[in-house]
Amino acid sequence: MQIQTNTTHTATLLYELQQLLIQIKTCNELADDTSQATVGRLSQHGLQLLHYALFAIESQQTKLNFTSLSAGAAMHDVVEELLPLAASYGASIHFDASPNLDPIYANEMSLKGSVYALLSAMITSSTNGVAPQITVAVQQTKPSVQRVGVYSDTTPISLAMLRQTKQRTSRMDTTGLSHRSGLGFMISQLLAERLETAYASFEHNQLPGIGFYVPESAQLQLL
Amino acid sequence: MKILCIEPDVVLAKAFKTVFTRNHHDTIMLCLDPQAAIEQIDTQKPDAIVMELQLAPLSGLAFLHELRSYEDFSDIPVVVYSSVPQESFQADAATWRSLGVKKYFYKSTDSLQKVARFIHGVLDEA
């Protein structure tokens, strides 16, 4: 079972890398300033996604360092980092954080990586011809716990889509879901597990989406 | 020439448009999914189709079967430009011919310029 899971991870990673390299090769053929800028953005995104993918795989065998940090600041960083990629796809990302949020207790790389991977998958997988409009929100929805979520009514995102990527056995299984590998969906789930949480369905300002809960640092100090 | 490009990747679709319009002065119609493509073909009557096979929600092969089921569209030449190698499909040369596929290009090894030149060769012969 473990071998099969690892094979699925490896195949998904390779399909995504192939697609990124095809994009870069094709843009390079055009040899104009716009395409060269796109090559730069895609390369940077590819390296960042690969960084999170390797971390997700390697961290399965290690105990991660949890610290007190600002979920709002972490999510703001992720949104800023993805804006160039979003521009290449005609997508827009809106960031919405509740005011005066207390620090949370989490592993920063897992938190950022999980949302980065999910957001980038939504941006690059959209094929319905509608420019993706995505909202990233950090809210205090109940005492001592914050919710990090990704929402959109232009780009479908659901728990079923995330789970489907875990069950794939071949490249063509993505038909019906997306033309992309689903690597981002897979990484986002793996890193949510590292945070000792899991994605669930939520709504934010009437937008459907998914997210997860993270505990505030103060709650742990009380325990 | 009017070329319909069925390419789900937004970045690649933009590149298709640039290559065909800049080098060959073609009119390019872009479709990100096969369902929209059927409507485009019906209204715009393209001279040729260049397409990816890895599509959603309908697969590229299912699209080709549907396309060839319409008498009006049966002779539009199709060129495949896919990230999936041809050997991955359990299909022989006769099957590809029956689907109207003139040539299969693999994105990993074939350039977009090569695809554009081939399509113009096919259209010039016709």
* CATH code, A52: 3.30.565.10
**CATH architecture classification, B2-125:** 3-Layer(aba) Sandwich (3.40)
Q: Is residue A16 predicted with pLDDT exceeding 60? A: yes
Shortest alpha-carbon distance between residue A26 and chain B (Å): 7
pLDDT at A1: 41
Predicted interface score ipTM higher than 0.85 = yes
- Cα of A61 to nearest chain B Cα, Å: 33
Average pLDDT over residues A54-67: 90
Half-sphere exposure of B54 (CA within 13 A, CB side): 24
Residue closest to B117 by CA, chosen among B45, B48, B63: B48
Query: What number is the average pLDDT over the span A108-130?
Result: 90
Distance from CA of B33 to the nearest CA of A (A): 6
* A129 vs B contacts (CB less than 8 Å): 32-33, 36
Expressed as residue numbers, the domain containing A49 is 2-222
What pLDDT score does B111 carry?
96
B31-61 tens-digit pLDDT: 988 888 999 999 989 999 999 998 877 889 9
Instruction: Say yes or no to pLDDT of A4 above 60.
Output: no
* Domains: count for chain A: 1
| Residue B102, C-beta contacts closer than 8 angstroms, at least 6 positions apart | B77, B78, B79, B118, B122
More confident residue, A172 or A154: A154
Contact status of A176 with chain B (Cβ, < 8 Å): yes
CA atoms within 13 A on the CB side of B88: 12
For chain B, the domains span: 2-125
Contact A38 B11 (CB under 8 A): yes
Q: What pLDDT score was predicted for residue A156?
A: 80
Q: State whether residue B35 sits within 8 Å of chain A by CB.
A: no
Q: What is the mean pLDDT of chain B?
A: 91
Q: Cα separation of A174 and A121, whole Å? A: 13
CB crowding B94-121: b at 16 or more within 10 Å, else e: eebeebbbbbbbbbeeebbeebbebbbe
Q: What is the model's pLDDT at position A20?
A: 95
Neighbours of A12 (CB within 10 A): 24
Q: What is the pLDDT of residues B71-89, one digit of tens each?
A: 888 889 999 999 999 998 8
**In this complex, do A88 and B10 lie within 8 Å of one another by their Cβ atoms?**
yes
Torsion angle of the four alpha carbons A84, A110, A192, A163, in this order, in degrees rounded to the nearest 10: 50
Under an 8 A CB cutoff, do A175 and B32 touch? no
Tell whether A174 lies on the interface with B, counting CB pairs under 8 A. Answer: yes
